[in-house]
Amino acid sequence: MEKLRNKDGLTEEEFLKKYNPGKYNRPSVTTDILILGMNEDYSGLKILLIKRGNHPFMGCWALPGGFVQEDETAYQAAARELEEETGLRGGYLDQIYTFTKPGRDPRMWVMSIAYLSLVQELEAVKGNDDADDAAWFDLKFDDSLISLRNEEKGIEIVYDLKKETFSNGAMQYENFIPSLKSKEALAFDHVEIIIEAMKKLREQILYNNQAFCLVKDTFTLPELQAVYEAVLSRPLYKKSFRDMISDRVEETGEEKKSCVKAGRRSKEYRLKKIK
């Protein structure tokens, strides 16, 4: 089998040896990760933020992330970052969207591949090399507001959202335009990343098992419902909810779990094994 030669008469080996990759300028590529977990008492979502220890946006809170290296996929880079921040590996981690707007990083040309991670428990966190600090923030996200609060540190980051629907041809899109309402702000375009990720999570959670990534291995149905309600930011009817998931869960057989205050104990469930 003779070798293919291009217009310059080069075989593939010769071409690759001569190839000059410097023809186009190249961007840096990072991953930024939304790490979400449920509050200990299932009252809402928490998000892990780090405090930037250097310019730009020094002192601002930001999504954890890092550069993708040449010998790894973006997924591996995100998984590595996730493990560095939380010690967790192998949990839910999925690509959301790639952000490429010129100027989104004042240092240089940087694209960011955003990932979403869902964790079963809020691991202790600490800052690392590039971060002064790291902490879990209460996350609220609905059609008119996004807020990130850390009571302990007395930090609140709040954006009003304006829901804007526009159409392009047949398609209709919903966009949320954030406007800062608090003294503190998120670094870079990280508000937009959070908005995109939360939109996607809200769209998907009813049709897959993402909610089960936010509860422990055994859980009660009120807890599981709280997960859906926290993500969707609206109440669900108890009966409809239970009908919806009844064929995906099974009782542990174990005794019921006690609860904090008065009221009947709830049964413990686990995710039904796939058949």
Strands 131-141 and 45-52: antiparallel
58 binds DNA per the rule CB under 7 A: no
Nearest in space to 156 (alpha carbons), one of 167, 146, 166, 171 = 146
| Range 66-95, binding DNA (CB under 7 A) | none
| CA-to-CA dists, residue 47 to 174, 253, 267, angstroms | 23, 33, 28
What is the Cα–Cα distance from 230 to 232, expressed in whole angstroms? 6
Nearest in space to 44 (alpha carbons), one of 225, 231, 235 = 231
What is the Cα–Cα distance from 148 to 155, expressed in whole angstroms? 8
Residue 69 interacts with, from DNA, a copy of itself, none (CB under 5-8 Å by kind): a copy of itself
27 binds DNA per the rule CB under 7 A: no
Residue 208 interacts with, from a copy of itself, DNA, none (CB under 5-8 Å by kind): a copy of itself
Residue 179 interacts with, from a copy of itself, DNA, none (CB under 5-8 Å by kind): none
Burial class (CB in 10 A: 0-12, 13-18, 19+), 64: buried
208 binds a copy of itself per the rule CB under 8 A: yes
What is the Cα–Cα distance from 46 to 214, expressed in whole angstroms? 11
| Contact residue for DNA among 55, 239, 273, 275 (CB under 7 A) | 239
Nearer to DNA, 89 or 265 (CB): 265
Fill in the DSSP letter of residue 205. Answer: G
**21-35: b (≥16 Cβ within 10 Å) or e:** eeeeeeeebbbbbbb
95 binds a copy of itself per the rule CB under 8 A: yes
Tell me the site size for a copy of itself, rule CB under 8 A: 59
| Range 41-80, binding a copy of itself (CB under 8 A) | 53-56, 58-59, 67-75
What is the Cα–Cα distance from 27 to 100, expressed in whole angstroms? 9
Nearer to a copy of itself, 209 or 259 (CB): 209
Closest CB 233 distance from a copy of itself, rounded Å: 20
What is the Cα–Cα distance from 43 to 229, expressed in whole angstroms? 9
Nearer to DNA, 16 or 260 (CB): 260
Nearest in space to 61 (alpha carbons), one of 79, 47, 80, 45 = 47
180 binds a copy of itself per the rule CB under 8 A: no
The window from 23-31, 97-105, 175-183, 263-271 that contacts DNA (CB under 7 A) reads 263-271
272 binds DNA per the rule CB under 7 A: no
246 binds a copy of itself per the rule CB under 8 A: no
| Range 169-228, binding DNA (CB under 7 A) | 220-222
Strands 28-38 and 110-119: parallel
263 φ/ψ angles, rounded to the nearest 5 degrees? 115, 160
| Binding residues for DNA (CB under 7 A) | 220-222, 236-240, 242-244, 256, 258-259, 261-267
Q: Which residues bind a copy of itself (CB under 8 A)?
A: 4, 6-7, 10-12, 15-16, 19, 21, 24-29, 53-56, 58-59, 67-75, 90-92, 95, 97-98, 100-102, 106-109, 111, 113, 167-172, 208-210, 212-213, 271, 274
